A and B are shown apart, each in its own frame.
Chain A
Amino acid sequence: MTGDFAGALSILRKDILIELRTRQALLAMTLFALLTVLILAFAFEPTREEVKAIGPGLLWVAFAFSGTIGLEHTLSTEREEGGMEALLLAPVDRGMIYLAKAAANIVFMTAAEVVTLPFFVVFYNADIASFLPELLLVNLLGTIGFCAVGTLLSVVTAQTKMRGVLLPVILFPMIVPVFLAAVEGTSALFRGDAPSGAIRLLAVYDIVFLAVGFMTFGFVVEE
Protein backbone atom coordinates (compact mmCIF):
# COMPACT_ATOMS: atom_id res chain seq x y z
CA MET A 1 0.00 0.00 0.00
CA THR A 2 2.79 2.46 0.83
CA GLY A 3 4.42 1.43 -2.44
CA ASP A 4 1.19 2.26 -4.27
CA PHE A 5 1.00 5.58 -2.54
CA ALA A 6 4.59 6.44 -3.41
CA GLY A 7 3.89 5.39 -7.01
CA ALA A 8 0.84 7.62 -7.20
CA LEU A 9 2.83 10.51 -5.80
CA SER A 10 5.58 10.05 -8.36
CA ILE A 11 3.02 9.95 -11.21
CA LEU A 12 1.54 13.20 -9.89
CA ARG A 13 5.04 14.68 -9.55
CA LYS A 14 5.87 13.65 -13.11
CA ASP A 15 2.68 15.27 -14.50
CA ILE A 16 3.31 18.53 -12.65
CA LEU A 17 6.97 18.54 -13.70
CA ILE A 18 6.07 18.04 -17.38
CA GLU A 19 3.52 20.82 -17.10
CA LEU A 20 5.98 23.20 -15.47
CA ARG A 21 8.48 22.56 -18.26
CA THR A 22 6.05 22.79 -21.21
CA ARG A 23 3.24 24.94 -19.74
CA GLN A 24 0.98 23.72 -22.58
CA ALA A 25 -2.17 22.75 -20.69
CA LEU A 26 -2.12 25.55 -18.14
CA LEU A 27 -1.68 28.22 -20.77
CA ALA A 28 -4.48 26.89 -22.96
CA MET A 29 -6.82 26.33 -20.01
CA THR A 30 -6.27 29.75 -18.47
CA LEU A 31 -6.54 31.62 -21.75
CA PHE A 32 -9.72 29.76 -22.59
CA ALA A 33 -11.27 30.50 -19.18
CA LEU A 34 -10.38 34.18 -19.56
CA LEU A 35 -11.84 34.29 -23.06
CA THR A 36 -15.07 32.73 -21.82
CA VAL A 37 -15.31 35.35 -19.07
CA LEU A 38 -14.68 38.05 -21.69
CA ILE A 39 -17.23 36.73 -24.18
CA LEU A 40 -19.89 36.37 -21.49
CA ALA A 41 -19.21 39.98 -20.47
CA PHE A 42 -19.99 41.00 -24.06
CA ALA A 43 -23.07 38.80 -24.09
CA PHE A 44 -24.63 40.09 -20.85
CA GLU A 45 -23.01 43.47 -20.05
CA PRO A 46 -23.96 43.01 -16.41
CA THR A 47 -24.21 45.89 -13.95
CA ARG A 48 -22.64 45.55 -10.49
CA GLU A 49 -25.93 44.30 -9.08
CA GLU A 50 -26.45 41.82 -11.90
CA VAL A 51 -22.98 40.41 -11.40
CA LYS A 52 -24.12 39.05 -8.04
CA ALA A 53 -26.88 37.12 -9.82
CA ILE A 54 -25.09 35.83 -12.90
CA GLY A 55 -21.44 35.95 -11.79
CA PRO A 56 -21.38 32.50 -10.14
CA GLY A 57 -22.91 30.76 -13.16
CA LEU A 58 -20.63 32.64 -15.49
CA LEU A 59 -17.53 31.64 -13.54
CA TRP A 60 -18.50 28.00 -13.59
CA VAL A 61 -19.26 28.01 -17.31
CA ALA A 62 -15.70 29.27 -17.81
CA PHE A 63 -14.26 26.69 -15.38
CA ALA A 64 -16.16 23.78 -16.94
CA PHE A 65 -15.05 24.70 -20.47
CA SER A 66 -11.42 25.17 -19.56
CA GLY A 67 -11.50 22.05 -17.38
CA THR A 68 -12.67 19.99 -20.34
CA ILE A 69 -9.70 21.23 -22.38
CA GLY A 70 -7.39 20.27 -19.53
CA LEU A 71 -8.82 16.74 -19.29
CA GLU A 72 -8.27 16.16 -22.99
CA HIS A 73 -4.75 17.50 -22.82
CA THR A 74 -3.45 15.46 -19.87
CA LEU A 75 -4.65 12.34 -21.63
CA SER A 76 -3.15 13.13 -25.01
CA THR A 77 0.30 13.50 -23.42
CA GLU A 78 0.00 9.91 -22.17
CA ARG A 79 -1.05 8.66 -25.58
CA GLU A 80 2.12 9.90 -27.25
CA GLU A 81 4.87 7.29 -27.45
CA GLY A 82 2.93 4.71 -25.49
CA GLY A 83 2.98 6.61 -22.21
CA MET A 84 -0.21 4.94 -21.02
CA GLU A 85 1.16 1.41 -21.58
CA ALA A 86 4.29 2.34 -19.64
CA LEU A 87 2.16 3.70 -16.82
CA LEU A 88 0.15 0.48 -16.67
CA LEU A 89 3.35 -1.56 -16.49
CA ALA A 90 4.36 0.30 -13.35
CA PRO A 91 3.89 -1.83 -10.22
CA VAL A 92 1.19 0.50 -8.94
CA ASP A 93 -2.45 -0.32 -8.26
CA ARG A 94 -4.70 0.87 -11.12
CA GLY A 95 -6.92 2.74 -8.69
CA MET A 96 -3.91 4.67 -7.44
CA ILE A 97 -2.98 5.59 -11.02
CA TYR A 98 -6.50 6.99 -11.35
CA LEU A 99 -6.16 9.01 -8.15
CA ALA A 100 -2.80 10.39 -9.32
CA LYS A 101 -4.22 11.38 -12.71
CA ALA A 102 -7.30 12.95 -11.09
CA ALA A 103 -5.04 14.84 -8.65
CA ALA A 104 -2.97 16.19 -11.54
CA ASN A 105 -6.15 17.39 -13.28
CA ILE A 106 -7.36 18.98 -10.03
CA VAL A 107 -4.06 20.84 -9.62
CA PHE A 108 -4.12 22.20 -13.19
CA MET A 109 -7.78 23.17 -13.12
CA THR A 110 -7.41 24.90 -9.75
CA ALA A 111 -4.39 26.82 -11.03
CA ALA A 112 -6.37 28.04 -14.05
CA GLU A 113 -9.26 29.06 -11.76
CA VAL A 114 -7.02 30.97 -9.39
CA VAL A 115 -5.59 32.96 -12.31
CA THR A 116 -9.07 33.60 -13.73
CA LEU A 117 -10.59 34.95 -10.49
CA PRO A 118 -8.66 38.27 -10.34
CA PHE A 119 -9.58 38.98 -13.96
CA PHE A 120 -13.22 38.27 -13.12
CA VAL A 121 -12.97 40.74 -10.23
CA VAL A 122 -11.49 43.43 -12.47
CA PHE A 123 -13.74 42.97 -15.51
CA TYR A 124 -16.97 42.73 -13.53
CA ASN A 125 -16.17 44.98 -10.60
CA ALA A 126 -17.05 42.06 -8.36
CA ASP A 127 -16.20 42.09 -4.68
CA ILE A 128 -15.06 38.65 -3.53
CA ALA A 129 -12.45 39.64 -0.95
CA SER A 130 -14.80 39.27 2.02
CA PHE A 131 -15.52 35.58 1.35
CA LEU A 132 -12.42 34.49 -0.57
CA PRO A 133 -11.54 31.45 1.63
CA GLU A 134 -15.07 30.03 1.40
CA LEU A 135 -15.16 30.72 -2.34
CA LEU A 136 -11.90 28.83 -2.82
CA LEU A 137 -13.27 25.92 -0.79
CA VAL A 138 -16.43 25.69 -2.94
CA ASN A 139 -14.27 25.94 -6.07
CA LEU A 140 -11.91 23.23 -4.86
CA LEU A 141 -14.76 20.83 -3.96
CA GLY A 142 -16.42 21.50 -7.33
CA THR A 143 -13.15 20.96 -9.14
CA ILE A 144 -12.55 17.65 -7.35
CA GLY A 145 -15.99 16.39 -8.41
CA PHE A 146 -15.48 17.60 -11.97
CA CYS A 147 -12.09 15.87 -12.25
CA ALA A 148 -13.20 12.70 -10.43
CA VAL A 149 -15.76 12.04 -13.18
CA GLY A 150 -13.85 13.75 -15.98
CA THR A 151 -10.60 11.83 -15.53
CA LEU A 152 -12.36 8.50 -15.88
CA LEU A 153 -14.70 9.51 -18.71
CA SER A 154 -11.85 11.09 -20.69
CA VAL A 155 -10.11 7.71 -20.71
CA VAL A 156 -13.35 6.09 -21.96
CA THR A 157 -14.09 8.61 -24.71
CA ALA A 158 -10.44 8.59 -25.84
CA GLN A 159 -11.03 4.99 -26.92
CA THR A 160 -13.98 5.85 -29.18
CA LYS A 161 -13.53 6.54 -32.87
CA MET A 162 -14.40 10.20 -32.26
CA ARG A 163 -11.69 10.71 -29.58
CA GLY A 164 -12.24 13.79 -27.46
CA VAL A 165 -15.34 15.02 -29.26
CA LEU A 166 -17.66 12.90 -27.14
CA LEU A 167 -16.16 13.92 -23.77
CA PRO A 168 -18.30 17.03 -23.16
CA VAL A 169 -21.39 15.20 -24.41
CA ILE A 170 -21.17 12.63 -21.61
CA LEU A 171 -19.32 14.76 -19.04
CA PHE A 172 -21.68 17.74 -18.90
CA PRO A 173 -24.88 15.86 -18.00
CA MET A 174 -22.90 13.89 -15.42
CA ILE A 175 -21.55 17.00 -13.69
CA VAL A 176 -24.94 18.70 -13.41
CA PRO A 177 -24.89 18.19 -9.61
CA VAL A 178 -21.40 19.72 -9.35
CA PHE A 179 -22.38 22.62 -11.53
CA LEU A 180 -25.62 23.37 -9.68
CA ALA A 181 -24.10 22.98 -6.22
CA ALA A 182 -21.03 25.08 -7.03
CA VAL A 183 -23.15 27.83 -8.60
CA GLU A 184 -25.65 27.74 -5.72
CA GLY A 185 -22.83 27.81 -3.16
CA THR A 186 -21.11 30.75 -4.88
CA SER A 187 -24.43 32.60 -5.17
CA ALA A 188 -25.01 32.10 -1.46
CA LEU A 189 -21.60 33.68 -0.80
CA PHE A 190 -22.42 36.67 -3.02
CA ARG A 191 -25.67 37.12 -1.05
CA GLY A 192 -23.77 36.90 2.22
CA ASP A 193 -25.11 33.46 3.27
CA ALA A 194 -23.19 30.36 4.27
CA PRO A 195 -22.88 27.77 1.47
CA SER A 196 -23.23 24.79 3.83
CA GLY A 197 -25.81 22.89 1.72
CA ALA A 198 -23.68 23.20 -1.39
CA ILE A 199 -20.54 22.11 0.46
CA ARG A 200 -22.30 19.04 1.83
CA LEU A 201 -23.61 17.98 -1.59
CA LEU A 202 -20.25 18.56 -3.26
CA ALA A 203 -18.48 16.56 -0.56
CA VAL A 204 -20.88 13.62 -1.05
CA TYR A 205 -20.47 13.81 -4.83
CA ASP A 206 -16.66 13.95 -4.55
CA ILE A 207 -16.46 10.96 -2.22
CA VAL A 208 -18.91 8.82 -4.24
CA PHE A 209 -17.24 9.39 -7.60
CA LEU A 210 -13.65 9.24 -6.39
CA ALA A 211 -14.51 5.88 -4.82
CA VAL A 212 -16.29 4.55 -7.93
CA GLY A 213 -13.51 5.85 -10.16
CA PHE A 214 -10.94 4.15 -7.94
CA MET A 215 -12.81 0.85 -8.24
CA THR A 216 -13.60 0.95 -11.98
CA PHE A 217 -10.43 2.51 -13.46
CA GLY A 218 -8.85 -0.93 -13.81
CA PHE A 219 -11.64 -2.00 -16.20
CA VAL A 220 -11.31 1.18 -18.23
CA VAL A 221 -7.58 0.84 -18.98
CA GLU A 222 -7.17 -2.93 -19.24
CA GLU A 223 -5.91 -3.98 -22.67
Chain B
Amino acid sequence: MNRNRALIDSILLILLGALMVADLFLIFRFAPVERTMGPIQKIFYFHVPSAWVAFLAFFVTFLASVTYLVTKRESHDCVASSSAAVGMLFCTIVLVTGPIWGKPVWGIWWTWDPRLTSTLVLWFIYVAYLLIRSYLPGARRATLSAVVGIFGFLNVPLVYMSIRWWRTQHPQPVLAGGEGSGLDPRMKLVFFFSLFVFTLLYYVIVRLRVRLGSLEARASRLLEERRLP
Protein backbone atom coordinates (compact mmCIF):
# COMPACT_ATOMS: atom_id res chain seq x y z
CA MET B 1 0.00 0.00 0.00
CA ASN B 2 2.66 2.51 1.13
CA ARG B 3 5.02 1.20 -1.49
CA ASN B 4 2.44 1.87 -4.19
CA ARG B 5 1.95 5.38 -2.92
CA ALA B 6 5.67 6.09 -3.00
CA LEU B 7 5.88 4.70 -6.54
CA ILE B 8 3.02 6.92 -7.72
CA ASP B 9 4.70 9.90 -6.06
CA SER B 10 7.96 9.27 -7.92
CA ILE B 11 6.18 8.86 -11.24
CA LEU B 12 4.23 12.07 -10.62
CA LEU B 13 7.41 13.96 -9.76
CA ILE B 14 9.25 12.83 -12.90
CA LEU B 15 6.22 13.63 -15.06
CA LEU B 16 5.85 17.03 -13.40
CA GLY B 17 9.53 17.86 -13.95
CA ALA B 18 9.30 17.01 -17.65
CA LEU B 19 6.07 18.97 -18.08
CA MET B 20 7.51 22.03 -16.33
CA VAL B 21 10.52 22.07 -18.66
CA ALA B 22 8.16 21.68 -21.62
CA ASP B 23 6.04 24.52 -20.27
CA LEU B 24 9.06 26.85 -20.10
CA PHE B 25 10.00 25.91 -23.65
CA LEU B 26 6.46 26.58 -24.89
CA ILE B 27 6.24 29.91 -23.08
CA PHE B 28 9.55 31.32 -24.25
CA ARG B 29 9.97 29.61 -27.65
CA PHE B 30 6.61 28.61 -29.03
CA ALA B 31 4.20 31.33 -27.91
CA PRO B 32 4.43 34.46 -30.08
CA VAL B 33 5.62 37.75 -28.58
CA GLU B 34 2.68 40.05 -27.93
CA ARG B 35 2.67 43.05 -30.30
CA THR B 36 2.10 45.99 -27.95
CA MET B 37 3.38 44.68 -24.63
CA GLY B 38 6.43 42.79 -25.87
CA PRO B 39 8.11 39.95 -23.96
CA ILE B 40 6.77 41.18 -20.58
CA GLN B 41 3.42 39.67 -21.57
CA LYS B 42 4.93 36.20 -20.98
CA ILE B 43 4.49 36.79 -17.26
CA PHE B 44 0.80 36.14 -17.96
CA TYR B 45 1.55 32.40 -18.31
CA PHE B 46 2.83 32.38 -14.72
CA HIS B 47 0.60 35.03 -13.17
CA VAL B 48 -2.85 33.75 -14.15
CA PRO B 49 -2.20 30.03 -13.45
CA SER B 50 -0.76 31.00 -10.04
CA ALA B 51 -3.88 33.03 -9.27
CA TRP B 52 -6.05 30.07 -10.28
CA VAL B 53 -4.03 27.71 -8.10
CA ALA B 54 -4.19 30.12 -5.13
CA PHE B 55 -7.98 30.34 -5.30
CA LEU B 56 -8.28 26.59 -5.85
CA ALA B 57 -6.01 25.96 -2.87
CA PHE B 58 -8.04 28.22 -0.56
CA PHE B 59 -11.23 26.57 -1.73
CA VAL B 60 -9.73 23.14 -0.95
CA THR B 61 -8.76 24.46 2.51
CA PHE B 62 -12.37 25.54 3.02
CA LEU B 63 -13.80 22.17 1.92
CA ALA B 64 -11.29 20.20 4.00
CA SER B 65 -12.05 22.43 7.02
CA VAL B 66 -15.76 21.70 6.72
CA THR B 67 -15.24 17.96 6.29
CA TYR B 68 -12.79 17.97 9.21
CA LEU B 69 -15.40 19.47 11.52
CA VAL B 70 -17.88 16.83 10.35
CA THR B 71 -15.65 13.73 10.36
CA LYS B 72 -12.84 14.80 12.77
CA ARG B 73 -10.37 12.84 10.66
CA GLU B 74 -6.80 14.04 11.01
CA SER B 75 -6.03 13.65 7.30
CA HIS B 76 -8.64 16.30 6.42
CA ASP B 77 -6.91 18.78 8.70
CA CYS B 78 -3.61 17.90 7.07
CA VAL B 79 -5.08 18.59 3.62
CA ALA B 80 -6.49 21.92 4.83
CA SER B 81 -3.20 23.17 6.25
CA SER B 82 -1.05 21.90 3.36
CA SER B 83 -3.37 23.45 0.82
CA ALA B 84 -3.37 26.78 2.68
CA ALA B 85 0.42 26.86 2.81
CA VAL B 86 0.76 26.06 -0.90
CA GLY B 87 -2.01 28.56 -1.72
CA MET B 88 -0.12 31.22 0.22
CA LEU B 89 2.98 30.51 -1.86
CA PHE B 90 1.10 30.89 -5.15
CA CYS B 91 -0.74 33.95 -3.84
CA THR B 92 2.66 35.50 -3.14
CA ILE B 93 3.77 34.68 -6.69
CA VAL B 94 0.64 36.44 -8.01
CA LEU B 95 1.32 39.53 -5.89
CA VAL B 96 4.96 39.66 -7.01
CA THR B 97 4.47 39.00 -10.74
CA GLY B 98 1.52 41.41 -11.02
CA PRO B 99 3.43 44.62 -10.24
CA ILE B 100 6.40 43.47 -12.38
CA TRP B 101 3.98 43.39 -15.30
CA GLY B 102 1.99 46.42 -14.18
CA LYS B 103 4.89 48.86 -14.04
CA PRO B 104 5.83 48.74 -17.75
CA VAL B 105 2.30 48.17 -19.05
CA TRP B 106 0.13 50.38 -16.81
CA GLY B 107 2.97 52.65 -15.72
CA ILE B 108 2.25 51.95 -12.04
CA TRP B 109 3.16 49.14 -9.66
CA TRP B 110 -0.13 48.95 -7.88
CA THR B 111 -3.72 50.13 -8.13
CA TRP B 112 -6.61 49.61 -5.69
CA ASP B 113 -8.58 47.54 -8.14
CA PRO B 114 -11.01 44.84 -6.89
CA ARG B 115 -8.94 41.89 -8.09
CA LEU B 116 -5.63 43.22 -6.82
CA THR B 117 -7.07 44.32 -3.51
CA SER B 118 -9.01 41.11 -2.92
CA THR B 119 -5.90 39.06 -3.63
CA LEU B 120 -3.93 41.14 -1.14
CA VAL B 121 -6.65 40.80 1.53
CA LEU B 122 -6.77 37.07 0.82
CA TRP B 123 -3.01 36.87 1.30
CA PHE B 124 -3.36 38.56 4.70
CA ILE B 125 -6.19 36.23 5.74
CA TYR B 126 -4.20 33.08 4.96
CA VAL B 127 -0.98 34.41 6.49
CA ALA B 128 -3.02 34.96 9.67
CA TYR B 129 -4.53 31.46 9.29
CA LEU B 130 -1.07 29.87 9.14
CA LEU B 131 0.24 32.09 11.96
CA ILE B 132 -2.66 31.23 14.29
CA ARG B 133 -2.23 27.58 13.39
CA SER B 134 1.39 27.59 14.44
CA TYR B 135 0.55 29.19 17.79
CA LEU B 136 -2.36 26.90 18.73
CA PRO B 137 -1.77 24.04 21.15
CA GLY B 138 -1.68 20.67 19.36
CA ALA B 139 -4.91 19.25 20.76
CA ARG B 140 -7.03 22.25 19.68
CA ARG B 141 -5.14 23.13 16.51
CA ALA B 142 -7.16 21.23 13.93
CA THR B 143 -10.62 22.27 15.12
CA LEU B 144 -9.84 25.95 15.66
CA SER B 145 -7.97 26.34 12.38
CA ALA B 146 -10.86 24.67 10.59
CA VAL B 147 -13.21 27.36 11.90
CA VAL B 148 -10.77 30.11 10.85
CA GLY B 149 -10.44 28.43 7.43
CA ILE B 150 -14.24 28.52 6.98
CA PHE B 151 -14.53 32.16 8.08
CA GLY B 152 -11.65 33.14 5.81
CA PHE B 153 -13.10 31.62 2.67
CA LEU B 154 -16.64 32.89 3.23
CA ASN B 155 -15.09 36.34 3.31
CA VAL B 156 -13.77 36.07 -0.25
CA PRO B 157 -16.95 36.99 -2.19
CA LEU B 158 -17.84 39.71 0.31
CA VAL B 159 -14.36 41.22 0.10
CA TYR B 160 -14.64 41.23 -3.68
CA MET B 161 -18.11 42.81 -3.66
CA SER B 162 -17.10 45.50 -1.21
CA ILE B 163 -14.01 46.48 -3.17
CA ARG B 164 -15.83 46.55 -6.50
CA TRP B 165 -17.19 49.96 -5.56
CA TRP B 166 -13.89 51.33 -6.76
CA ARG B 167 -13.00 51.53 -10.41
CA THR B 168 -11.63 48.50 -12.17
CA GLN B 169 -8.32 48.68 -13.97
CA HIS B 170 -7.43 45.01 -14.19
CA PRO B 171 -7.66 43.54 -17.71
CA GLN B 172 -10.95 41.80 -18.29
CA PRO B 173 -10.75 38.06 -18.82
CA VAL B 174 -9.40 37.64 -22.34
CA LEU B 175 -10.28 33.99 -22.73
CA ALA B 176 -14.06 33.90 -22.57
CA GLY B 177 -14.71 37.57 -23.33
CA GLY B 178 -16.58 39.02 -26.28
CA GLU B 179 -15.21 40.23 -29.61
CA GLY B 180 -11.72 41.70 -29.71
CA SER B 181 -10.72 39.87 -26.57
CA GLY B 182 -9.46 36.75 -28.30
CA LEU B 183 -6.02 35.30 -27.84
CA ASP B 184 -3.74 33.97 -30.55
CA PRO B 185 -4.46 30.20 -30.75
CA ARG B 186 -0.85 29.42 -29.88
CA MET B 187 -1.03 31.68 -26.87
CA LYS B 188 -4.24 30.01 -25.81
CA LEU B 189 -2.65 26.58 -26.13
CA VAL B 190 0.39 27.60 -24.07
CA PHE B 191 -1.84 29.25 -21.49
CA PHE B 192 -3.96 26.15 -20.94
CA PHE B 193 -0.87 23.96 -20.87
CA SER B 194 0.62 26.24 -18.23
CA LEU B 195 -2.62 26.15 -16.28
CA PHE B 196 -2.53 22.36 -16.30
CA VAL B 197 1.13 22.19 -15.24
CA PHE B 198 0.60 24.64 -12.36
CA THR B 199 -2.43 22.71 -11.16
CA LEU B 200 -0.45 19.48 -11.29
CA LEU B 201 2.38 21.18 -9.40
CA TYR B 202 -0.11 22.21 -6.72
CA TYR B 203 -1.54 18.70 -6.53
CA VAL B 204 1.87 17.04 -6.22
CA ILE B 205 3.11 19.42 -3.49
CA VAL B 206 -0.08 19.00 -1.44
CA ARG B 207 0.06 15.24 -1.95
CA LEU B 208 3.64 15.08 -0.71
CA ARG B 209 2.86 17.29 2.27
CA VAL B 210 -0.14 15.18 3.23
CA ARG B 211 1.99 12.05 3.01
CA LEU B 212 4.63 13.71 5.16
CA GLY B 213 1.93 14.63 7.65
CA SER B 214 0.61 11.07 7.88
CA LEU B 215 4.14 9.70 8.25
CA GLU B 216 4.80 12.18 11.05
CA ALA B 217 1.59 11.14 12.80
CA ARG B 218 2.55 7.47 12.42
CA ALA B 219 6.07 8.10 13.73
CA SER B 220 4.77 9.84 16.84
CA ARG B 221 2.22 7.03 17.38
CA LEU B 222 5.01 4.43 17.22
CA LEU B 223 7.11 6.41 19.69
CA GLU B 224 4.10 6.66 21.97
CA GLU B 225 3.54 2.88 21.85
CA ARG B 226 7.15 2.16 22.65
CA ARG B 227 7.00 4.43 25.67
CA LEU B 228 3.78 2.95 27.10
CA PRO B 229 4.85 -0.40 28.61
Q: Is the CB of A166 within 8 A of B132?
A: yes
Chain A: CB-nearest residue to B160: A177
Q: What chain B residues lie within 8 Å of A152 (beta carbons)?
A: 147, 151
Query: What's the count of A-B pairs with C-beta under 8 Å?
Result: 85
Mask, B141-164, CB within 8 Å of A = 1, is 001101110111011001101110
Q: What chain A residues lie within 8 Å of B219 (beta carbons)?
A: none
Bound Cα distance A120, B175 (Å):
50
Q: A181-B162, A212-B151, A220-B144 are in contact. Are A173 and B128 (CB under 8 A)?
A: yes
Mask, A202-216, CB within 8 Å of B = 1, is 001100110010001
From residue 155 to 210 of chain A, which have CB atoms closer than 8 A to chain B?
156-157, 159-162, 166, 169-170, 172-174, 176-177, 180-181, 184, 197, 201, 204-205, 208-209
Q: What chain B residues lie within 8 Å of A160 (beta carbons)?
A: 132, 135-136
Q: What chain B residues lie within 8 Å of A205 (beta carbons)?
A: 158
- Asked if A149 is at the interface of the complex by the 8 Å CB criterion, the answer is yes
Q: What chain B residues lie within 8 Å of A49 (beta carbons)?
A: none
Q: Is the CB of B147 within 8 A of A220?
A: yes
Bound Cα distance A10, B8 (Å):
59
Q: What chain A residues lie within 8 Å of B128 (beta carbons)?
A: 166, 169-170, 173
Q: Is the CB of A156 within 8 A of B121?
A: no
For the residues of B in contact with A, the DSSP-based class is: helix
Q: What chain B residues lie within 8 Å of A42 (beta carbons)?
A: none
Which of B125, B137, B163 is within 8 Å of A161, CB to CB? B137
For the residues of A in contact with B, the DSSP-based class is: helix
Bound Cα distance A5, B125 (Å):
33
Q: What chain B residues lie within 8 Å of A222 (beta carbons)?
A: 143
The smallest C-beta distance from B142 to any residue of chain A, in angstroms, reads 10
Q: Is the CB of A176 within 8 A of B151?
A: no
Q: A174-B155, A197-B165, A212-B150 are in contact. Are A157 and B132 (CB under 8 A)?
A: yes
- Asked if A153 is at the interface of the complex by the 8 Å CB criterion, the answer is yes
The smallest C-beta distance from B198 to any residue of chain A, in angstroms, reads 25
Residues of A within 8 A of B (CB): 149, 152-153, 156-157, 159-162, 166, 169-170, 172-174, 176-177, 180-181, 184, 197, 201, 204-205, 208-209, 212, 216, 219-220, 222
